A = this chain, B = another copy of it.
Amino acid sequence: MDTVSPVTTAATQNEPRGEQTRRLIVDTAVRLFQEQGYDKTTMRGIAQAAGLSVGNAYYYFPSKDHLVQEFYERIHIDHRFAAAPALATKTEFAERLHAVLAAGVDAMAPYHGFAGKFFRIAADPASPLSPFSAESTPSRERSLSLFRDVVDGTTTKIDPELKPDLPELLWLAHLGMTLYWVHDRSPNQTKTRLLVDRAVPLIDRLVALSKLRVLRPVTREALALYRTLRPSTPSPSP
């Protein structure tokens, strides 16, 4: 319901020179995006509100789109924060997964209003902001580690054939959930929350069933296919 966000971007002590300016720009941008939406917030507006020149903003961020990447950062921090307690205490796979996904929805909630806009940006595979791009490897890696944590920290028995790929598969599921969330117009994103509540037990059951004799060949083939076709680590841009 209310925000989980602990992201106060203070701590302005003993900092590399431009770091303060950088933060000032991001803070202002984030605020304006929330107040007026992505499109109506102009670079001029951001610069003015921050008491800087436009050129200066571009000194730190090569494009307006790049300011969006800062959201990923902040959302991820909130996400980890909100998921931490459950990851530290729960041991069952389903519980851990549910906690992380639900925490994800909570972390994103404050930005739902203009989520479509930054989703639009992320959707372009040529964009450095695509979740699959080389440039976003660090943030992707951080996000992935959450799901590694889900898998590694559980006492639930998991098919050893599936286990190595499971974190990445869950991360993709999380991406899918986000895709649904972006399109979810229900109040407070109730439908996405319902999706999490009901999809997690399903996934849990599927993971359990994957060892089943009748399903074994299908599981094997699906996994093999995934390994063949999964996006390879992108080479850094030239």
A residues near B, CB below 8 A?
116-117, 119-127, 130, 132, 180, 182-183, 191, 194-195, 198-199, 201-202, 205-206, 209, 212, 214-215, 218, 221-222, 225, 228-229, 231
Contacts and interface: CB of A to CB of B under 8 A. Distances in A.
Contacts of A124: 116-117, 119-120, 123
8 contacts: A116-B126, A120-B124, A125-B183, A195-B225, A198-B228, A201-B221, A206-B218, A209-B218
Nearest to A119: B123
The secondary-structure label for the interface of chain A is helix
Contacts of A225: 195, 198-199, 202
Given A116-B124, A124-B117, A182-B125, A221 B198 contact: yes
A149 to B, nearest CB: 26
A203 B218 CA distance: 10
A199 to B, nearest CB: 7
Contact of A209 (B119, B122, B183, B215): B215
A116 B125 CA distance: 6
A123 B125 contact: no
Query: Which 9 pairs from chain A and chain B are nearest by CB?
Result: A123-B123, A120-B124, A125-B183, A116-B125, A116-B126, A116-B124, A120-B123, A198-B225, A195-B229
A177 to B, nearest CB: 11
A228 B183 contact: no
A20 B205 CA distance: 57
Contacts of A218: 202, 205-206, 209
A205 B215 CA distance: 10
